[in-house]
Structure 1
C-alpha cells in the first residue's frame, strides 16, 4: 500500500490544482500555496477554482494558503507547479523556507531566456543541495481539465535516481492516472518545453485555414527539431518517441484545451501577440520558450527553421503566411537524420 504523505503544491493554477486533487483523492495530506487571495479563498470555501478550472467541483478536502511556510510545514514532498517566469524567485523563497532535505517535483515546461537553462537547472541554482533530497520532473501529455474529470492520463516521472522517481510514481498513481519512470531528465524537459513552440505553430496553421496535411507536417518536422536540439543538449533520442516527447506534442498541438494552440490560432487569424496574450488571461509558455530557444539554437548553431519561423511571427511581427511560404520554399533535403 502506498505511504500517505504530507505534500505541498506550489501554484494554484489549473495544473497545480488538478495535481493537488489527484493527491488528495489518493489519500495524501495536501496544501496548495497560491499568490492570489481570491483564488485561495475560493479553494478553501467553495472548493472550486473558477478562473482556471471553470464549472468544476473539486474535493471538500482542498486546502490552500497564501503563506508559503504554512504550505511547507511538515511537507515530505513539494510539487512546483508555477509559470517558468516565476521559477527563480519562488525557488529562492523556497530555499529560505525549507528546513530539511525535501523531495522536489516540478511540472513546469519551459526554457529560461538568456541563460538557456532547463527548469531543473534553475531550481538547482536557487535551492541548496542540502535542502533537496531529490529533484524529479513530472511531465507528459496532459490537460488539467481532463485529469480533474478523471479521464485516463499517462505521465512520466524522470530522475537519474529511479528510486526517487518511483516515490513520485507511487504518490500519483491511481486508476485514472498511470505514471511511468525514466532516467532522461534532459529529454523530458526539452520535449515538454519545446512542444509548446510547435503547438503555437499548429494553432497558426489552423488559424490560416489549413488542414490535416499541414498540421501533420508541422508536428513531424517540429519533432525533428526538438530531437535535434535535445540530442545536442545530451538527451537520449528515444525519449522523444515517448510520453514526454511525441505524446506531449500530440496533445498540445491538437486540443482546444491547449493555451499554446489557442494563442497560435488567434495569431493565424491576424491578431497581434499583445492582443492574444491580453485575451488569453493565462500564461502561454510557448511564447517565452520561443525566445529562449531562438537564442539557444543560434548559440549551438542548430538548424531549427520551424522554431525560427514562429519566433519571427511572435517577435518580429512577420505575417504568418509569409513564414509558411518561406518554410515551404526551403532547399530540398534528406529526411533521415543520424543522432
Structure 2
C-alpha cells in the first residue's frame, strides 16, 4: 500500500484520489479551501468540484501544506500548470525527505513554455527529488468518477517509477495505466 499526497483537490485531483483510495492506498488531498477540506473529511464528497461520486474513507484532506507533503512518499501535482511553479516553491520550503513527484496537470507553463518536469527540477531541491512521472492521457474527471473506461500513460525515464504509479492507479474495471520511458513525448 502506498501513501499518496495529492496537491490540489479540484475535480482531477479528487478523481485521482478516489481511484487511489478505492485501490486501497492512503490518500491525503491538499486544498487551500477549509470548506472543501471539511466536506471531504466529514462527508467524503467534494460536490463543488465533483457533483457525483463519493470518496473512500481512506481519502482525507488538509489545508496544511507541510502536513500534506509529509504524509506521502508520492506527491501528485493536480493544480493548473499556470500556478505550478508557485506551488512547487511552497512545497520546497516544507519538504523534508525525498519524494517521487507525479504530474497530473495538463500543458506547458504559460510564458516560458516549460514542461512540468523542467519546472520541478528547477524548484525542488535535488536532495528531495526521488524521481518524476508524468501521468497523462485523454481523460475527464467526471467520466472517471462515473467509472467510464479511461486509459492514461505514466511516463518516466525510470520505468520502475512509472510502474509504481501504474500499480497505484490501475484497476480491473475502468482505469488503466500504461507505462513508457518517453517522458518528453508524453509531456
The answer to whether the aligner puts 1:103 opposite 2:100 as a matched pair is yes
The answer to whether the aligner puts 1:130 opposite 2:130 as a matched pair is no
Equivalent residue number for residue 77 of structure 1: 74
CA contact (8 A) 2:82 2:110 kept: no
CA contact (8 A) 2:21 2:55 kept: no
Equivalent residue number for residue 256 of structure 1: none
Q: Deviations over 1:52-78 (max 9, x none)?
A: 111333323331000011112241111
Alpha carbon RMSD of aligned pairs, Å? 1.2
Unmatched runs of 5 consecutive residues or more in structure 1: 190-339
Tell me which of 139, 142, 146 is aligned to 2:143. 146
Instruction: Please report how far the alpha carbon of residue 32 of structure 1 lies from its aligned counterpart in structure 2 after TM superposition.
Output: 0.3
Tell me which of 179, 188, 196 is aligned to 2:186. 188
Instruction: Please report how far the alpha carbon of residue 29 of structure 1 lies from its aligned counterpart in structure 2 after TM superposition.
Output: 1.0
Structure richer in helix, relative to its length: 1
Greater relative contact order structure (CA < 8 Å, 6+ sep): 2
The answer to whether the aligner puts 1:114 opposite 2:116 as a matched pair is no
Equivalences for residues 104-253 of structure 1 within 5 A: 104-175=101-172, 176-189=174-187
Tell me which of 42, 45, 61 is aligned to 2:58. 61
Aligned counterparts of 1:64 and 1:105: Cα–Cα separation in 2 = 18
Q: TM-score scaled to structure 1, two decimals?
A: 0.53
Partner-residue secondary structure (3-state), 1:8: strand
Structure richer in strand, relative to its length: 2
Aligned counterparts of 1:170 and 1:98: Cα–Cα separation in 2 = 24
User: Which 10-residue stretch deviates more, 134-143 or 73-82?
Assistant: 73-82
Instruction: Please report how far the alpha carbon of residue 130 of structure 1 lies from its aligned counterpart in structure 2 after TM superposition.
Output: 1.4
Aligned counterparts of 1:19 and 1:57: Cα–Cα separation in 2 = 12
Instruction: Please report how far the alpha carbon of residue 42 of structure 1 lies from its aligned counterpart in structure 2 after TM superposition.
Output: 1.0
What is the total number of aligned residue pairs between the two structures? 186
* Pair member with larger Rg: 1
The answer to whether the aligner puts 1:24 opposite 2:40 as a matched pair is no
Q: TM-score scaled to structure 2, two decimals?
A: 0.94
Aligned counterparts of 1:156 and 1:55: Cα–Cα separation in 2 = 25
